Amino acid sequence: MIKFKNITIILTLILCFSFVVNDEAHAQYLENDPTPAQRVFWGGNIGLMFGTNTYISINPTVGYRLTNRLSAGIGGTYNWTKSVYYDYSGQSYGANIFASFTIIKRLGDAIPINDAGGLLLYGELSYLNISNYYVIQLPNQPAWVYTPLAGIAYQSPIGQRSYLVFMVLYNFSESYYSPYSNPVIKASFQF
């Protein structure tokens, strides 16, 4: 319960920060005919949990803003977990492709709130090696698993060209082998 409480406090602080960001920080550079180099973005996320169960996740991404509403890119994934309780450790790794489409560039323009963030549709296809991720290795267990994810995202500006992105996604191939259970909630940075 303490871990959940700490996570709740941290997420609340991040959300509060994202809602009080100055409107001038919202990047409008895509409206001003940017160069191809200015359309490139990078980022990702890092997940950490320590205690009886330890979990470390590193997910770098690089993408390209094809238009002022459509972005696409690739990323990598590495997950490591260790459980003292089960005397187990395992890992998974792989790659993904993703795309996002901005349906509302600025929520403050669509509804009467002071918010510079945008609403996006987001899709991702992950290809993960799970051969050393599960405790029990079943004889017919696949070594590589496709995981299609899709959902909605909130993109909050935190600088001239940087964003904090919160995603709520649905795993369309949720199974015993998939490392993601529904709903999949992610937070990442883009620079």
pLDDT at 16: 45
Burial of residue 97 (number of CB atoms within 10 Å: 0-12, 13-18, 19+): middle
Cα(170)–Cα(174) distance, integer angstroms: 9
pLDDT digits (tens, 9 = 90+) for 87-129: 778 888 999 999 999 998 887 777 777 777 889 999 999 998 8
First and final CA of the chain: distance in angstroms?
34
Contact 57, 47 (CB under 8 A): yes
Q: What is the pTM of this model?
A: 0.75
Q: Which residues pair with 78 in a beta bridge?
A: 58, 93
DSSP type of residue 38: H
Which domains does the chain possess? 2-190 (2.40.160.20)
